[in-house]
Amino acid sequence: MLLQRLVGYAEENVTTPPFHREREFRWRLDLFTDGRGAQLTGLREPDGKGRGQRRFAPAATRTVGVAPQLGADDIQYVFGWGDDTTKPKRVAECHERFVALIQEWSDSDPNDVAAQRLVRFYRNDDMPLRPEGVGAKDGVLVAVDDELIIHRPSLVRFWMAEVARRKAGKAPRTGLCLVCGADRPLLDSMPSTVAKRLVPGAGNDAALVSVNASVFGYGLATGLEHTPICFPCGNAVGSGLTHLLGSRHAINLAGQDSRMAWWVLGAEEPDVFSGFATAPDPNQVNVLLKRLHSGDLARAEELAQTVDGDERFFSLTVGGNASRIMVRDWIDLPLQAALLHLAHWYRDMLMVTLADDEPVSFGLWHLVLAMGRWDGRSGENGRYTEIGKKNGRRPEHVQRDLLARALRGSPLPPSVLHHVLHRIASDGHIDATRAALLRLALCDPREKEPRVSAGLDENNNDTVYLYGRIFAHLEKIQRKAHGRDVNTTFGDRFLASAMGNPVPAVMAGRRMAAAWLGKVRRNPKTRNSEWALRSTLDALIDKIDSAKPLTGFLPAQRQAQFVLGYHQQRAEDRRRVRAHREKEEAEFDDVED
């Protein structure tokens, strides 16, 4: 089914000639029919990075063997120039085979002036001088009279026939293609690969289907003997996958082991996916969230899974291993079901912040960023280590874990919850993004309503949640007493241990709170708030005393409840301060009027 979908995607979106692939070229050889000499020109961009021009050129898979591409290839093929990494004998063979292929093209169409000119170039041995800094694998474009020969119709026709000859194997076969179901000539090996820059983890250009050793094949057979794929489908699989992974719908964050790409069949692309990796569009998110409150969600999702229509959503997640592509995830769902899963994702991710009055959602990039190490010494207020940095200590699979939760509707694996808790304990840093990750881990996407609230839940009498609220309130009392004149806060001292068992930390905090409240009472600027602080603390402790006592070390899910109680209480305190200030400013404006 995956190969069929890729072929369908290629038929709708890929316009390049068959058996062509985009690659980088750093040099251009210009030949002329008016007697002028050959010219070799550099194509590197003037940005200091040494990148060349990217062009679609004839290309067929080659591994360890010598296999020239037609009309544009490496320096070692076009000129026979090697470097410190090549063997002279092999370079000579590469050049000899390239020249022979040019001759065969010329013989196939004697009227093509470009082919005849290139043959004369090699026959007369009219090589240009070798520039400095040339690498054996630098790409070279060839042009005749200012026209790139890779665009010549005769070259495209000859190249299609050449690839068919190479990829048919020693004994050409005809049979039923498992992709299109037609009776056609079959491939012995796939004709194209995907550039390694598009496949995280790949050491070389990689193939989706490869049986180049007996150990990989059914019955120890090499080639595609037991995987019948015809030439058009084989080309479409490679070109479609390359186009898809290089499109704007592909997501690959640095340091992650996979790249995800998605597309839609039978409907316009929903805008809600466009900014998925960075920041979601609030308007589009609201449209999805409204669907959750229109009728029975569980029934709506069940209906969406069985809807009979052409509107389908596809998502492919791949990684690389040497020269092979690993399919890490493949999603084929009705579009409505995918949108419902995404709506669950946004609903379960909403979280209050210290600066906003309403819960907000986050982009995939922010969530992956928050999985890394927090550096409190970096910048004025600290920051997360950059995505892709080794010292960030992010799991390399977290991107695909989050995407599976968002698009497939699968619960997050326990490893995500454990890692976030570990980072919070190690860094001593909690913010809305990490709290959102904890909420995502605790909420089951299959449930009609989320089991964890996005903001402070006054009716939640869970003991651990209440301990988190008390911990935040003790911090608030300390800040009220000392302001910023404290080197080590209550949270700095006890947060990591309190996540495992908050009882000892809260008991110590209650003893220290007596002195803090006394200082608040003695300060003329803060004495009016002493009663409110004491009353809130007593009320929370009364709830704790009437709840089930805690014993032993808390499991991960209970630790997450403590952290959420802590974060949401802090956010609520900030919201009340802002509301109080706005009320005072409004009253002051009324008096002035």
Q: What is the pTM of this model?
A: 0.83
Q: Please report the pLDDT score of residue 463 as a whole number.
A: 93
- pLDDT of residue 586 exceeding 80, the answer is no
Q: Does one domain contain both 235 and 278? A: no
Q: How many residues are listed for the chain in this entry?
A: 593
Residue at which a domain ends, from 243, 278, 307: 243
Is there a domain that residue 425 lies in?
yes
Check if the beta carbon of residue 133 is closer than 8 Å to that of residue 117. no
Calpha distance 55→24 (Å, rounded): 7
User: Domain check: are 574 and 432 in the same one?
Assistant: no
What is the domain range of residue 484? 463-584
pLDDT for residue 183 is more than 70: yes
pLDDT at 327: 94
The answer to whether residues 481 and 431 belong to one domain is no
pLDDT over threshold 80, residue 439: yes
Q: How many CB atoms lie within 10 A of CB 113?
A: 11
Looking at the structure, do residues 411 and 315 belong to the same domain, yes or no? Answer: yes
Q: What are the pLDDT digits (tens) for 135-170?
A: 999 999 999 999 999 999 999 999 999 988 888 877
Whose CA is closest to 17, among 221, 238, 330, 181? 238
Residue 451 lies in a domain: no
Residue 354 identity:
L
Quick one: 276 and 237 in the same domain? no
Q: What is the mean pLDDT of residues 79-84?
A: 92
Give the ranges where 109-229 is alpha helix by DSSP (H): 113-123, 153-167
Stretch 40-63: mean pLDDT: 83
What span, in angstroms and rounded, lies between the C-alpha atoms of 326 and 171? 29
pLDDT greater at residue 266 or residue 539: 539
- Of 183, 217, 243, the residue at which a domain comes to its end is 243
pLDDT the model gives residue 580: 82
The pLDDT of 175-197, averaged and rounded, is 90
Answer yes or no: do 98 and 217 share one domain: yes
Confidence of residue 504 (pLDDT cuts 50, 70, 90): very high
Task: Provide the pLDDT confidence category of residue 527 given band limits of 50, 70 and 90.
Answer: confident
The answer on 325 and 430 residing in a single domain is yes
Catalogue the long-range contacts made by 163-167 (C-beta closer than 8 Å, 24 or more residues apart).
163/18, 163/19, 163/60, 163/191, 163/231, 164/231, 166/60, 166/67, 166/191, 167/60, 167/191, 167/231, 167/234
Same domain, 408 and 267: yes
pLDDT tens by residue, 322-362: 889 999 999 998 888 888 888 888 889 999 999 988 998 89
3-state secondary structure of 405: helix
pLDDT at 302 over 70: no
The per-residue pLDDT for 297 is 54
Percent of residues, the chain, with pLDDT higher than 90: 54
- Choosing from 211, 243, 275, the residue where a domain stops is 243
Cβ-Cβ contacts under 8 Å for 269 (sequence gap 6 or more):
249, 263
pLDDT at residue number 448? 74
- Provide mean pLDDT across the span 61-86: 88
The pLDDT assigned to 127 comes to: 84
Q: State which amino acid sits at residue 529.
A: S
Q: How far apart are CA 292 and CA 344, in angstroms?
A: 8
Bigger pLDDT: 585 vs 553: 553
SS3 (DSSP) at 530: helix
Q: Is residue 590 part of a domain?
A: no
Task: Please check the confidence at residue 592 and state whether its pLDDT lies above 60.
Answer: no
- How much is the average pLDDT of 241-269? 89
Residues 6+ apart with CB under 8 A from 337: 301, 304, 305, 307, 313, 409
Instruction: Specify if 453 maps to a domain.
Output: no
280 and 390, same domain (yes or no): yes
Distance CA 181, CA 166 (A): 23
d(CA 183, CA 165): 18
- Comparing 485 with 94, the larger pLDDT belongs to 94
Nearest to 6 by CA among 267, 263, 310, 189: 263
**Residue 307 — very low, low, confident or very high, per pLDDT cuts 50/70/90?**
low
448 falls within a domain: no
Report the pLDDT averaged over residues 386-399. 92
Which amino acid is it at 239? Answer: S
* Cα angle for residues 105, 111, 112 (degrees, 5° grid): 55
Amino acid 537: pLDDT: 93
Which amino acid is it at 128? P
Q: Place 176 in a pLDDT band, splitting at 50, 70 and 90.
A: very high
Q: How many domains does the chain have?
A: 3
* Amino acid 379: pLDDT: 60
pLDDT in the model for residue 346: 87
Asked if residue 298 has pLDDT above 90, the reply is: no
Question: Could you read off the pLDDT of 401-436 as tens digits, one per residue?
Answer: 999 999 998 999 999 999 999 999 999 999 999 999
Q: Residues of 353-383 as b/e, b for ≥16 C-beta within 10 angstroms?
A: beeeeebbbbbbbbbbbbbbebeeeeeeeee
Band (pLDDT 50/70/90 cuts) for residue 276 is confident
Shared domain check, 158 and 186: yes
The amino acid present at 582, given as its one-letter code, is E
Structure tokens at 381: 């207020």
Q: Is the pLDDT of residue 291 over 60?
A: no
Task: Mark whether 83 and 197 lie in a shared domain.
Answer: yes
To the nearest whole percent, how much of the chain has pLDDT over 70? 92
249 domain residue, yes or no? no
Q: Is the pLDDT of residue 308 over 90?
A: no
Helix, strand and coil in the chain, % to nearest 5: 50, 15, 40
* pLDDT tens string 195-218: 899 999 998 888 898 887 777 777
Judge if 264 and 238 occupy the same domain: no
To the nearest 10 degrees (0 to 180), the angle between helices 556-592 and 490-500 is: 140
How confident is the model over 528-556, as pLDDT tens digits? 888 999 999 999 999 887 767 787 899 99
Q: Residue 484 to residues 353, 476, 481, 488, 514: CA-CA distances in angstroms?
A: 21, 12, 9, 10, 19
The count of other CB atoms within 10 Å of the CB of residue 44 is 17
Predicted pLDDT at 473? 94
Question: For 442-463, what is each residue's pLDDT tens digit?
Answer: 998 877 778 899 999 999 999 9
Specify if 264 maps to a domain: yes
Mean pLDDT of the chain: 87
pLDDT digits (tens, 9 = 90+) for 461-470: 999 999 999 9
